[in-house]
């Protein structure tokens, strides 16, 4: 069946509307036609019954006089003729009670009636209502109404008036009404089909547009976006979702390209340094033990830096992939903050930086991976100490959020600060701001500390942000949902 259907969605929608319209017209033609013809028959029977009863009333006396020998057949026929003036197709026969035809407009004269040939006559003679009818097609193939009404005068049964009425004029009118009805229904069907055509276009056009945009995206045109239709609502939402997805795809690919470029640069720098030292050693530096030992120490330092950078990149990939998300358990964030504070106290003293920790009382349980949370805290505190000059201060402050359903951690330093132009980029991989932010220590970082911290916070359902003022210091804000 599916092979018979067109491939185009628009054509399928148009054909479905057309099919419904055609079926609707066909059903109207069948059922309405049946109803119209039935109504025409019943109305005709009712009208001619009234005419027949009126005619029998006028015939009672002339017919009684004829049967008693006091009247003539011409008087009876004159009464009937008055009724036939406007009904030339009306044929009549007057039967006596024994079924013998007395008068008739038919030629040849009809034979004696019996229950098989004219059952309506005997129903009229015997039935309490005094009438009988039936519909039948005559010898010429024309639908005809056969109607009989009892003739009685002064309690004397005179016979039955039998009328043979062609329904062709009535059926012609019924057919004309049916044709008009079908034409009207056809016009409505055409209107429905036109509406279906327009609706199909409204539905298929955005889908076709999405297909073209998808093809452009697949060919590398990451700027391609689909026009958003106002209606229908579902396609509006679908197109918006598609454009959002395309934007995220573009953003992720740009981040990937930037990551590859930055990683290549970061890896090339220590590799170049190692290569230069090795070439120097080959060039004769081995003959000078002191210089050789210095070069070997520098090579070892660069290798350690490379190893640290690679490990950070692997950790960042694992965190962003959520590989350790199943290890989230209830943990005390306040306890982790205290432990990190104690770990960095000695390092801060060595750097001449004052490290303080303040934890407000209240709930401090969160769902988290303890190793990752400590890693995030290490990175933030380590950064704060490295960028704070001798005599400066670093604070760790943990307190409940404004609504009591979160924990807010602030890591503040009194360092040089970050320029507003650089602040939005501090969480990007390999982004460094040493050009405007002096660093108080050897440049051993990988440029991935803050991106790792951001990924850890987000994988725990939290938020991280930074605020800074040049010459005053920088504050990193972290917010985690607490366990209810």
Closest residue by Cα to residue 401 from 458, 332, 480: 480
Give pLDDT, residue 32.
79
Is residue 416 in some structural domain? yes
Last residue of a domain, one of 325, 358, 384: 325
CA distance 283 to 296: 14
Domain hosting residue 157, numbered range: 9-173
Residue 209 in any domain: the answer is: no
Q: Are 229 and 239 in contact (CB under 8 A)?
A: yes
pLDDT at 410: 94
Number of structural domains the chain divides into: 3
Assign residue 469 the CATH number of its domain: 3.30.565.10
User: In which residue ranges of the chain is pLDDT below 70?
Assistant: 1-14, 17, 200-201, 258-267, 269, 308-309, 312-313, 315-317, 319-326, 431-446, 484
| Crossing angle between the packed helical segments 33-68 and 168-218, to the nearest 10 degrees | 180
- Residue where a domain stops, chosen among 158, 173, 188: 173
What does the pLDDT read at residue 467?
A: 92
133/151 same-domain check: yes
Q: Of 325, 356, 371, which residue sits at a domain end?
A: 325
Tokens found for residue 284: 């004769």
From residue 144, give the alpha-carbon distance in Å to each of 41, 56, 150, 391, 415.
Answer: 10, 21, 20, 121, 112
Q: What is the pLDDT of residue 434?
A: 55
Q: 21 with 167, same domain?
A: yes
pLDDT at position 6: 56
pLDDT at 432: 67
Query: Quick one: pLDDT at residue 20?
Result: 74
Residue 420 belongs to some domain of the structure: yes
Token pair recorded at residue 326:
């199943």
| Closest by CA position to 51, among listed 140, 145, 128, 125 | 145
The predicted pLDDT at position 324 comes to: 60
């Amino acid at each position: 069946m599916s092979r018979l259907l067109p491939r185009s969605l628009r054509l399928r929608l148009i054909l479905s509307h057309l099919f419904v319209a055609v079926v609707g017209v066909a059903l109207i033609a069948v059922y309405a036609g049946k109803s119209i013809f039935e109504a025409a028959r019943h109305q005709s029977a009712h009208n001619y019954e009234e005419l027949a009863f009126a005619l029998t009333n006028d015939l009672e006396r002339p017919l009684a006089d004829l049967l008693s020998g006091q009247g003539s057949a011409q008087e009876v026929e004159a009464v009937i003729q008055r009724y036939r003036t406007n009904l030339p197709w009306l044929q009549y026969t007057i039967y006596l009670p024994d079924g013998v035809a007395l008068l008739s407009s038919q030629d040849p004269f009809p034979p004696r009636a019996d229950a098989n040939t004219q059952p309506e006559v005997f129903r009229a003679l015997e039935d309490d209502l005094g009438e009988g009818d039936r519909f039948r097609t005559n010898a010429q193939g024309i639908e005809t109404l056969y109607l009989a009404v009892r003739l009685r005068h002064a309690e004397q049964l005179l016979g039955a008036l039998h009328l043979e009425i062609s329904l062709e004029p009535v059926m012609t009118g019924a057919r004309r009404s049916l044709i008009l009805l079908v034409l009207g229904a056809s016009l409505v069907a055409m209107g429905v089909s036109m509406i279906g055509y327009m609706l199909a276009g409204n539905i298929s056009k955005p889908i076709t547009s999405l297909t073209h945009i998808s093809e452009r995206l697949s060919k590398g045109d990451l700027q391609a976006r689909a026009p958003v239709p106002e209606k229908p609502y579902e396609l509006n939402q679908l197109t918006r979702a598609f454009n959002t997805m395309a934007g995220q795809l573009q953003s992720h690919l740009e981040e990937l390209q930037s990551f590859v470029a930055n990683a290549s640069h970061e890896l090339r720098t220590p590799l170049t340094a190692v290569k230069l030292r090795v070439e120097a050693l080959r060039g004769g530096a081995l003959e000078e033990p002191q210089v050789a030992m210095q070069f070997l120490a520098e090579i070892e330092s660069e290798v350690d830096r490379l190893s640290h950078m690679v490990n950070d990149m692997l950790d960042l990939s694992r965190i962003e992939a959520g590989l350790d998300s199943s290890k989230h358990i209830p943990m005390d964030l306040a306890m982790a903050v205290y432990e990190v504070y104690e770990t960095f106290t000695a390092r801060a003293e060595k750097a001449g930086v004052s490290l303080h920790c303040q934890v407000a009382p209240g709930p401090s349980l969160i769902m988290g991976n303890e190793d990752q949370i400590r890693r995030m805290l290490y990175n933030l505190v380590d950064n704060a100490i490295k960028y704070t000059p001798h005599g400066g201060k670093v604070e760790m402050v943990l307190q409940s959020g404004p609504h009591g359903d979160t924990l807010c951690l602030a890591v503040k330093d009194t360092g040089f600060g970050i320029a507003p132009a650089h602040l939005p980029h501090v969480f990007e991989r390999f982004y460094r701001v040493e050009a405007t932010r002096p660093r108080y220590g050897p440049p051993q970082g990988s440029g991935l500390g803050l991106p790792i911290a951001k990924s850890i916070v987000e994988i725990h359902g939290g938020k991280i942000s930074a605020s800074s003022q040049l010459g005053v210091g920088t504050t990193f804000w972290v917010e985690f949902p607490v366990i209810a």
